[in-house]
């Protein structure tokens, strides 16, 4: 299990009636039903999948968070060129937020095309440039409020755990 998830669930996400949970074959956002928490579900126990799905949650507005998978379309691997271009358009902001979260935990960030083998290097380079540009825009203008709260929580958790590791060495 990813160790920072419990801390994030008990602090930031709980205040929003949401929890982050792994172990799934595909990521999915399960909107809250009466009396239950919404779930940001991520793939298996992959830390980067968790951060990526949190990026989507931070971008989705209040009305989108009332719908399963935020009411968006999703086409799995095997997308057409047009579907892949649309994917790049809707993924720019969530991946910029994911990059922000990676910095809090000192993880390496790489953009994801999520369409194995069906994209060009030029398209990936252009997409990566757009994600970097959005990241710089957020740095200058401010990240979404929920993203900033998650970043602070992750950074504090990481600093506390890094300090504990350093003392044991």
Condensed to tens digits (0 to 9), the pLDDT of residues 51-80 reads 999 999 999 999 999 999 999 877 667 777
pTM: 0.92
| Dist. CA 115–CA 77, nearest whole Å | 5
**Residue 133, pLDDT above cutoff 60:** yes
Determine which helix (DSSP H) or strand (DSSP E) holds 89, and give its type and residue range. Answer: helix 81-105
43, 24 contact by CB (below 8 A): yes
| Dist. CA 54–CA 40, nearest whole Å | 7
**Residue 101, pLDDT above cutoff 80:** yes
Q: Read off the pLDDT of each residue in 137-164 and give the average, rounded to a whole number.
A: 94
Q: Residue 164: what pLDDT?
A: 60
Q: Residue 162: what pLDDT?
A: 83
Q: Residue 87: what pLDDT?
A: 84
Q: Read off the pLDDT of each residue in 24-43 and give the average, rounded to a whole number.
A: 95
Q: Read off the pLDDT of each residue in 92-96 and give the average, rounded to a whole number.
A: 97
Q: Read off the pLDDT of each residue in 103-129 and give the average, rounded to a whole number.
A: 85
Average pLDDT, the chain: 91
How much of the chain, in percent, has pLDDT values that exceed 90? Answer: 72
Inter-residue long-range contacts of 153-161, CB under 8 Å, 24+ positions, other chains counted: 153/7, 153/8, 153/11, 153/12, 154/4, 154/8, 154/101, 154/104, 154/105, 155/104, 155/105, 157/4, 157/7, 157/8, 158/4, 158/104, 158/105, 158/106, 161/3, 161/4
């Amino acid at each position: 299990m990813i160790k920072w998830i419990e801390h994030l669930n008990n602090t930031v996400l709980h205040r929003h009636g949401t929890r982050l949970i792994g172990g799934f074959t595909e990521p999915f956002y399960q909107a809250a039903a009466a009396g239950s928490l919404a779930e940001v579900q991520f793939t298996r126990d992959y830390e980067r999948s968790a951060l990526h799905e949190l990026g989507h949650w931070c971008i989705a507005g209040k009305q989108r968070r009332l719908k399963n998978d935020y009411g968006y379309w999703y086409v799995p691997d095997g997308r057409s060129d047009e579907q892949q271009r649309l994917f790049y358009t809707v993924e720019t902001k969530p991946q910029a937020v994911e990059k922000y979260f990676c910095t809090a935990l000192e993880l390496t960030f790489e953009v994801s095309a999520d369409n194995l083998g069906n994209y060009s290097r030029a398209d990936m380079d252009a997409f990566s440039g757009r994600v970097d540009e959005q990241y710089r825009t957020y740095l200058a203008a401010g990240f979404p409020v929920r993203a900033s709260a998650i970043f602070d929580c992750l950074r504090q958790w990481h600093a506390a755990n890094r300090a504990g590791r350093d003392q044991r060495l």
